[in-house]
Structure 1
């Protein structure tokens, strides 16, 4: 089954090398790299070390005609591969394991890889916009830009790469743009978009409405206590928006909502409050469903960004040559997806990676989980 999985997908990636640089097969370099990343390796030197320590085991399914690639070879390959090539292979694999779930929340959000910035080379940090399928627990796709402000142009490109039919796409305020709403509707999906001051007219109308009319709206509330924190969320929604100025300019717009959260930390008197205003396209969206949808959106921080920073050490990775930062981001996303897709062991991502490092049999199971 492995030969029909990741190795086969890696074979379809265009090799940027020429001549004697092709000493090692590209699919074998990529296979060793992803196995190393799954097992906790972060640098090209560690990939070489992993390969040499596991060489006998690797020869069970790789030819390794010229032995284990050097760390320079790993670096050169990841600097040269076009990210579009690796991204296509990544998304091909995702679609083989993704379960189609009606109304699944797909959260879209950006994250900067801090260590990819180089002042000496006048190179900006790579900013990656990712799509996270909350219920599947998978990164569906990602696209890189060189500035956070470029999210507005990157998001439509990413959305057009994804299968979004019957999903609910959630995006923070930067992505609350008419063209993005249109792209989502054209994909036969719904949206929940945050509204802040970057859409001043819309923001003013919605905030004024909920400050005077919220008691006439549908209402839902949740309360949760976890890790010494007690949090309540109250939500009001309405689909009666004929009064909303320029409503017709927002494709598919069906309603507006507000979520007010209050977080109380045990031992502290002060309560941290936050207010989130949104627009949505789903005609039947209830207050309870909006609460659930926004909670799923926020999972991208804890289940993706936090894991990449803490478990994978993403922000400390100083890979700046060529496309290395972008390509290694894709490999980390792939490693995370593979680890999440293997469910026989119920440990955390960190424990799963340690288990992969200690157990070649389990590592192979994770790698071949499709």
Structure 2
């Protein structure tokens, strides 16, 4: 039995209030229709305005039966102008209710209402324009690991870095009840406080930007391990995975944060500390890595292990897919707003593909979108036949 998703009319409604900043002189194509064609084109493997227009012209009959297109199929310059004119923050905001619907459905499907929200940055390496002094686009996004959904994206200022972007992106996301996992650059007292005040828990990685805290955590854990945890309550877990020609073993250790931890009182609701010891064996060669964490989570090794593992998942499930399936690093879109808007289209359509229950790979699902209009609409509207 099929499950009702949303209709194409409901998709169009998300963009009705979006301000159209195009010149009125040649405004022949409805903005909502242009955006939906762009979404469909990106789902079907288009990688820029020219690709979207080419795909649209090859599927003109299908699109004209689906959308209001009084002047036919828009040309590549229309898609380019729209992507350049739209303000990224306003464009992304149009998707907020759609994302809430996807998130709710994913929570029900996975029976998990306490997801790990991984916050991390990514650079589009070829999106720079040296001649005009434009550096490559670097953005920070929030990835709901268990759901396979990008919840928000914020581009960092060229003269800034992720520290300024993380507080901004946390304002865009409802993380009440969730576990927010952030790499070491985001391990800041104000960020931890923002997560706790918003009703979430934090798991923050430690590096030398918090040197005293890192040394305190590392020294305490080593001391307790040497005593075989005789004097403290400890939680331990070992997990092993084999695939892609390598075997990875992860040992997780979690302890209550000691009262002697440097700066403890300045970190809101810091309750536990932990480490992850990763051993990787490939082609007979073994490599190891140890990472340390602070967290507002109570003692519970399963939850700590899942949160740290899922944070690494943003690299494997999101960034890797954008690089390999979408070939995002090859993008040469250089307009400052257009490249950010297109990066968002990539992330959102990846989220739609992740929600489709079919067993095919993401590459095959994306190809299928280009081959079959029925399958394409299934992915767009979450209708299952």
TM-score (norm: length of structure 2)? 0.92
Q: Distance in 1 between matches of 2:150 and 2:10?
A: 18
Hey, what does 2:367 align to over in structure 1? Answer: 354
Partner of 2:85 in structure 1?
Answer: 80
Residue 311 of structure 2: aligned partner:
297
Tell me if 1:92 matches 2:97: yes
Q: Does 1:226 pair with 2:239? A: no
- Give SS of 2:67's match: coil
Q: Does 1:177 align with 2:192?
A: no
Alpha-carbon separation, structure 1, partners of 2:56 and 2:38: 9
Do 1:185 and 1:252's aligned partners in 2 also have CA atoms closer than 8 Å? Answer: yes
RMSD: 1.5
Give, in angstroms, the shift of residue 150 of structure 1: 1.7
Q: Which residue of 2 aligns with 1:274?
A: 289
User: What SS does the aligned partner of 1:13 have?
Assistant: coil
**CA distance in 2 between partners of 1:122 and 1:148 (Å):** 12
**Residue-by-residue CA offset, 1:110-163 (whole Å, 9 max, x unaligned):** 001112211100011111101011111111111111349521011111111111
Q: Does 1:163 align with 2:177?
A: no
Written as runs of structure 1 = structure 2, the 5 A alignment for 1:104-123 is 104-123=115-134
Q: Distance in 1 between matches of 2:310 and 2:328?
A: 23
Runs of 4 or more, structure 1, over 4 Å off, are none
User: Which residue pairs with 2:338 in the alignment?
Assistant: 324
Shift of 1:187: 0.9
Looking at structure 2, the residues matched to 151 and 92 of structure 1 have their Cα atoms a distance apart, in angstroms, of 26
When normalised by structure 1's length, the TM-score is 0.95
- Name the structure 1 match of 2:320: 306
CA 1:326/1:55 → structure 2, altered by over 3 Å: closer, same or farther? same
Aligned to 2:74: 69
State the alpha-carbon separation in 1 of the partners of residues 376 and 271 from structure 2: 47
User: 1:254 and 2:271 equivalent?
Assistant: yes
Between the aligned partners of 1:334 and 1:6, the Cα distance in structure 2 is 13
Match of 1:31 among 36, 44, 49: 36
* Unpaired segments ≥5 residues, structure 1: none
C-alpha contact 1:126 1:146 (8 A) present in aligned 2? no
The worse-fitting range, judged by mean Cα deviation, of 221-230 and 161-170 is 221-230
Residue 14 of structure 1 pairs with residue 15 of structure 2? no
Aligned 8 A contact 1:235 1:288 in 2: no
Whole-angstrom CA distance in 1 between matches of 2:208 and 2:146: 30
Alpha-carbon distance, 1:67 to partner? 1.1
Task: Check whether the contact 1:124–1:146 (CA below 8 A) recurs between aligned residues.
Answer: no
2:217 match: 206
Q: Deviations over 1:46-72 (max 9, x none)?
A: 111111111111111212111111111
Structural mapping, 1:130-141, within 5 Å: 130-141=141-152
Please list the CA deviations of residues 74-110 of structure 1 after superposition, one character each: whole Å capped at 9, or x if unmatched.
Answer: 1111011000111101222110121343331110100
Q: Counterpart of 1:54?
A: 59
**CA–CA distance in structure 2, aligned partners of residues 321 and 149 of structure 1:** 19
Which residue does the alignment assign to 1:365? Answer: 378
Contact 2:117 2:179 survives alignment (8 Å): yes
Alpha-carbon separation, structure 2, partners of 1:33 and 1:102: 32
SS in 2 for 1:59: helix
CA contact (8 A) 2:187 2:204 kept: yes
| Structure 2 residues not aligned, in runs of 5+ | 1-5
CA apart distance, 1:4: 4.2
Query: Partners of 2:337 and 2:177 in 1: how far apart?
Result: 34
Corresponding residue SS for 1:308: helix
Distance in 2 between residues matched to 1:202 and 1:220, nearest whole Å: 24
Distance 2:27 2:77 in 1: 13
Tell me whether 1:236 sits opposite 2:247 in the alignment. no
